[in-house]
Amino acid sequence: MNTSKQNSDTTETTITKTGVKNLWKECEDGEYQLHTTIFSTTESDEPSFALKRVNIKDLDKRKEVYGICGECNEPGTGSHWCRPCNAKRFKENFKNWTSGNKNIDELIQQSQLNALHPSKRLEWIPFEKFENVTYLTRGGFSKIYSADWPEGNIEYWDIENQKWVYESSIKVALKSLENSSNISNDFLNEIRYYISDHFSCFNTVVCYGITQNPDTQNYMMVLQYYESGNLRNYLKNDLEYEYKIQYLYWIIDGLLAIHDAGKVHKDFHSGNILFYNENVLAISDLGMCQPVDDNEQKGVFGVIPYMAPEVLRGYQYTKAADIYSFGIMMNELMSEDIPHNDIPHDHLLVVKICKGLRPKISEDTPKLIADLIIKCWNAKAENRPTAKELRQILFKYLDNIDVESSEIYCQIEECEKIKENKLKNRTNENQSKNLQTHPRAVYTKTISSSSVNPISECLDCELNELDLNQDDDNDE
């Protein structure tokens, strides 16, 4: 895991690395086709972290250059990463390993031949390579474990000593899919999303490879472990406003990468936003991602408080549905309260959301942010902003957060006073911050099935018009 630079810091040129001794050579502007970090040409000039292959002379300003390979004299495609040279090395090693499954072998081999960066390369990792495998949690069809990986993943090829250099002794998460001994397309597709060049390693979880549990025979994804937990856990940290807006920017930047790839996330909630530390976060659980134009009805999946009303009525997931979920997360982060945590997540909650119920916006939320939240969870999907629009707006707020004359600065100043008074009153009344949830508030994925209960009926088909027209008293 590369934590040497924050998501928003991409101005430095990467030329040298300890132990490589100038075998990677600097290149001149306009001379080579390089794998670079592209910056947008919008008026705000905020960075886009989508990785593309372009001629360096086409860059307007600020670029990250990876140098020239000391072996083939071709431009690198990542930090001390030469795709053609490394592809040859990986291909020579194909005969030395197999997963036992043709589809998995082909997926891993193709990733190694095409990887433009080490984070986009998979490998087959025998289960015995892991130590201290520990069960963590369950979600949807999967179980999550933590494990130590002493050998670790490949970082780069040491040209001078002609050997791979590893990031050793790392902790990983193992995601096991039930009944995956007979490998499914869904399992393989999720892995393809993790290694897609559309998704930057800055804002989506890195998948190191695939392994297999010898006891269950289930295949497991080997994923980057995020030691600080998820966004929902992070609410306990009393974050400063600058961090909150920075996190919102990083989250929407990651979602934009998914939308730009022609996909929708479909399960976007705070449990799927993971923190490595306060400077690195990533979007996880890409297994639900589907093409925007995929009209095949496959049921409705999600965590009810984050699901858009049109989705709860049984309509297709869209980019706008992801934006609704982002709006719920925005409010969750700003208010530091989990949405609808004090009521059961049942048929009545589904009905109320479709009738307009939304979480309360905290009084210490800056009005500029509150206005964005309201736009994101608008009942009409067509009235919600796009991910691109949100990223541009949040970048402007972030850029002006220390400018005393700016509107966002003044609003944060006022909100800090309100928050301080709230904390003081809470202390005086000897009350602690309460993040406890109702015993029937469920923040794991709900999966529609046959009509065995009112919730699945609501999620799998349109809501009954009688329900939508009930009085609130009757709902209660």
Q: pLDDT value at position 382?
A: 96
Q: pLDDT value at position 314?
A: 85
**Residues in a beta bridge with 167:** 153
Spatial separation of the C-alpha atoms in residues 364 and 26, rounded to whole Å: 50
| The 3-state secondary structure of 210-228, one letter per residue | EEECCCCCCEEEEEECCCC
- Give the amino acid at 414: E
C-alpha torsion sign, points 344, 305, 341, 472: negative
Q: pLDDT value at position 70?
A: 80
User: Residues 6 or more apart from 427 whose CB is under 8 A from it?
Assistant: none
Spatial separation of the C-alpha atoms in residues 190 and 221, rounded to whole Å: 9
User: Residues 6 or more apart from 367 whose CB is under 8 A from it?
Assistant: 411
- Give the amino acid at 317: Y
Q: pLDDT value at position 458?
A: 45
Q: pLDDT value at position 190?
A: 74
Contact 118, 203 (CB under 8 A): no
Per-residue model confidence as pLDDT tens for the chain (476 residues): 333 334 333 333 333 333 333 345 444 443 333 332 222 323 344 433 333 333 333 333 223 456 677 888 777 776 778 889 999 999 999 999 999 899 999 999 999 999 888 888 999 999 999 999 999 887 656 788 999 999 999 998 988 889 999 999 999 999 887 766 666 676 787 788 777 765 554 566 788 999 999 998 889 999 988 877 788 877 766 788 999 999 999 899 889 988 887 888 888 888 888 887 777 678 877 655 555 555 454 556 678 899 999 998 888 889 999 999 999 999 999 998 889 887 877 888 889 999 999 999 999 999 999 999 999 999 999 999 999 999 999 999 999 999 999 999 999 999 999 988 887 776 555 555 555 665 554 555 554 443 333 444 444 444 454 454 544 444 44
Spatial separation of the C-alpha atoms in residues 274 and 232, rounded to whole Å: 9
CA separation, residue 88 to residues 14, 167, 420 (Å): 24, 21, 60
Spatial separation of the C-alpha atoms in residues 22 and 348, rounded to whole Å: 65
Spatial separation of the C-alpha atoms in residues 249 and 388, rounded to whole Å: 11
Q: For residues 389, 395, 397 and 398, what is the CA-based torsion angle, rounded to 10 degrees?
A: 160
Query: What is residue 54's three-state secondary structure?
Result: strand
Query: What is residue 250's three-state secondary structure?
Result: helix
Q: pLDDT value at position 290?
A: 57
Express the helix, strand and coil content of the chain in percent, nearest 5 each: 35, 20, 45
